[in-house]
Amino acid sequence: MGKMLGYARVSTSKQDLNAQLDPLEAAGCVHIYNDTASGARTERPGLDACLKALEPGDTLVVWRLDRLGRSLVHLVQIVTELQARGVAFKSLSDGVIDTTTPSGQLVFHIFAALAQFERELIRERTKAGLEAARARGRKGGRKAIDATNPKVRMAKSMHKDPSVSIDEICSNLGISRATFYRYLKL
């Protein structure tokens, strides 16, 4: 029997990888590769390194199916390629899927379809919420700032004093240099 390699992914740096790392370590993974990237992104160096390191007889272990594939098609493609290379696949949270068995393959396809369905539902709800907000006259993004804003007036006033540096102005107002220069154009 080969080694077990783990793969973990979070979408943003604010999310905690430990919720995935701990179960992967407990499952016996000798090495765990990880990425901080949206599931939709194609550039995932951790996944690429993990897939490259897998050898026949090894097992790729993930915490959940949606941590691995960008879509149902991508997920099925990865697992099919692994099977062709003689590499097994296990998902710990999705009913302990094990693709070395016919029933595990069936369960994999069912859970992959459900994971894709869940992502599509989230996408549809988000889109519907944005459309409803727009219909009520709400727009996304930051509120526009004009020349009458107190911070803008203060930045312009401080800039007139040659003894005050731009860095000091930005620090005192809690703004970036880019924001400062935007204020000057207003």
Q: Which residues are catalytic?
A: 11
The answer to whether the CB of 90 falls within 8 A of the CB of 24 is no
Measure the CA–CA gap between 2 and 166, rounded to whole angstroms. Answer: 60
The answer to whether the CB of 101 falls within 8 A of the CB of 111 is no
> Which amino acid makes up residue 74?
H
Please choose, from the candidates 50, 83, 53, 56, the residue with its C-alpha nearest in 3D space to the C-alpha of residue 68: 50
Measure the CA–CA gap between 94 and 61, rounded to whole angstroms. Answer: 11
Report the DSSP beta bridge partners of residue 9.
35
| CB-neighbour burial class of residue 185 (10 A; exposed 0-12, middle 13-18, buried 19+) | exposed
Please count the residues of the chain: 186
| CB-neighbour burial class of residue 17 (10 A; exposed 0-12, middle 13-18, buried 19+) | middle
Report the DSSP beta bridge partners of residue 62.
7, 91
